Amino acid sequence: MKLAFLSDIHGNAHALDAVLEDITENQVDKIFVLGDLAYRGPEPNRVLQLIQQLDATVIKGNADEWVVRGVNQGEVPDQALEMMNKERDWTVAQLNQADIEYLSNLPTELKFEEQGVAFHAFHATPTSLFDVVLPHTEDTEIEAQLMTAHQADVYLYGHIHKAYTRFINGKTIMNLGSVGLPFDGVTKASYATVDLDGGSIRPTIHKVSYDYEKTINKYHEVNYPNTTLMENIVRNASL
């Protein structure tokens, strides 16, 4: 059995198209989406349509929460707060009430088992949509923040837009990277698969090429309120 995990699409439908095509080619059996679907991209509506058309299990990210209720002071740097709420308001204007309710009602974590392998998946940490756990965090800190809330064999999350795989005390920890806004300097859409075979686990990070200039052109076409910054992020794959 092959499971696919993706997150942090951020309204980049061109990148999502490429990832879904790659997932089909990889003959994936089940798809899981770990949040941050629409906000900060030029095509929030099309991304939500694509995700809702999938036979996928979806959870909420911090950016989905922002779409629902706005960005609060203290959640981003003070100098970015006004602009990020302008971006949020623009995103909401592209959606309908059913979309907002869909995002509002998403669960915040997944706990499931396949072929005797236990999985725990969440957006940032099991207890927060906002906390940051970076790739080179010490093992003890990863255990404390990601692995103590629920016993599992595989832990998966998004949020930091930097894909990695770690093995700690016989457990597998994966960050999926980002479909739409990678921050690792690689201008490719990122997602992960986990192959299961008789209890064995094979985790893989996939980097999928797509025409990111189409995404940049779309930001300009729709008059996105923070186009210059987003163009730089997409073109350089970094903040």
Check residue 160 and give its pLDDT.
98
Contacts with 101 (C-beta within 8 Å, 6 or more apart), sequence order: none
Render pLDDT for 29-60 as a digit per residue (tens, 0 to 9). 999 999 999 999 999 999 999 999 999 999 99
Q: Which two tokens stand for residue 125?
A: 């940490």
| Residue environment code for 37-47, b if the CB has 16+ CB neighbours within 10 A, otherwise e | bbbbbbbbebb
| CATH tag, 2-236 | 3.60.21.10
Residue 108, CA distances (Å) to 65, 122, 127, 148, 186 in order = 10, 6, 9, 16, 28
Spans of all domains in the chain:
2-236
Residue 56, CA distances (Å) to 86, 189, 219 in order = 30, 18, 27
Which ranges in 60-151 belong to alpha helices (H)? 62-69, 78-93, 97-104, 139-142
Render pLDDT for 85-134 as a digit per residue (tens, 0 to 9). 999 999 999 999 999 999 999 999 999 999 999 999 999 999 999 999 99
pLDDT over threshold 90, residue 199: no
Q: Which two tokens stand for residue 194?
A: 């986990």
